[in-house]
Amino acid sequence: MKNFNQKVAAITGAGSGIGQQLAILLAQQGTHLALSDVNEQGLVETRSLIAQYPVNATFTQLDVSNQEAIRAWAADSFTHHGKINLIFNNAGVALASTVEGMNYEEMEWIFNINFWGVVYGTKEFLPYLKQSGEGHVINISSLFGLTAQPTQSAYNATKFAVRGFTEALRQELDIQNNGVSATCVHPGGIRTNIANNARMSDSIRALGMNPARASRSFNKVLKTPPSDAAKIILDAVRKNKARILIGTDAKILDVVQRITPTHYSQALNFLTKKSQKNGK
Ligand SMILES: NC(=O)c1ccc[n+]([C@@H]2O[C@H](COP(=O)([O-])OP(=O)(O)OC[C@H]3O[C@@H](n4cnc5c(N)ncnc54)[C@H](O)[C@@H]3O)[C@@H](O)[C@H]2O)c1
């Protein structure tokens, strides 16, 4: 997709962080918007941030783990806007827990949002993207969809799953050559609300971590502004890239995990300690 002017984009998790910045950047480029989030207050904020741009925007409060809600949102958006060209499956949550200390409810919670939310968003919007003649699916994985880390087993599993799902989808769409494509996005640390909203389990004490301080440490490694992330994502869609890495941290670790797939955790520890020492 060479430009976004007069296209229609749907974004999940549009009330904060990367999703909100995508909405602003697209509105600036004349893209009409179907925005959703579970957090109504976030949507109100996004509405005011894009109000100055002459685009048609709809706002829907929904939970991406609810398939019926996504199905209805996709249908309503298509009816309202007359077409849908882009779906950004962006909504996501984080959880820090050991495998041993994690209960099944926590795992189901994060899988329902980070993985099933992406699956529902992809499958329910795909027919409308095809019907619209020109379409793109953008699924947000993570640096943690390429490398694993202690306390992140569930998050890692959801983001590795998003990567596999999206890479297979991309190949199917390439074979069909039907005007629709897909990009898998792997951000490193982006300065958003993800750490503030994360669930921190007491079980991480077993690894010498303090759950009360974990979100502060987590925040310290979130460097890239979400507006930069949004620009990089839209540029990748314009160039029809299959995969995009965001941030120096993601780029370095991607290389390291290819060179040493079983020892990359040492490089990750080094980078984390260095950035915490710098106090950034
Ligand atoms: N911030 C980072 O460092 C980082 C790194 C890699 C990947 N990511 C991914 O980027 C995506 C966007 O996250 P962000 O960093 O902008 O965080 P954020 O917390 O600022 O925004 C996430 C948005 O998703 C919404 N959301 C959460 N659960 C939802 C649900 N069940 N249904 C609908 N909406 C829901 C939240 O209300 C919020 O508005 C996520 O998928 C996240 O995993 C973020």
**Burial call 69-106: b when 16+ CB within 10 Å, e when fewer:** bbeebbeebbeebebbbbbbbbbbbbbbbbeeebeeeb
pLDDT of residue 273: 66
> Where does ligand 1 bind, in terms of residues with CB under 6 Å?
12-13, 15-19, 37-39, 42, 63-65, 90-93, 113, 140, 142-143, 187, 189-190, 192-194, 197, 222
User: Any idea which residues carry the catalytic annotation?
Assistant: 155
pLDDT of residue 274: 65
pLDDT of residue 111: 98
- In the predicted structure, residue 126 carries a pLDDT above the cut 60: yes
Provide the whole-model pTM.
0.96
Distance (Å, whole) CA 32 – CA 24: 11
pLDDT digits (tens, 9 = 90+) for 212-241: 888 888 888 899 999 999 999 999 999 999
Determine contact, residues 86/1, Cβ cutoff 8 Å: yes
Residue among 192, 18, 194, 17 at smallest CA distance from 110: 194
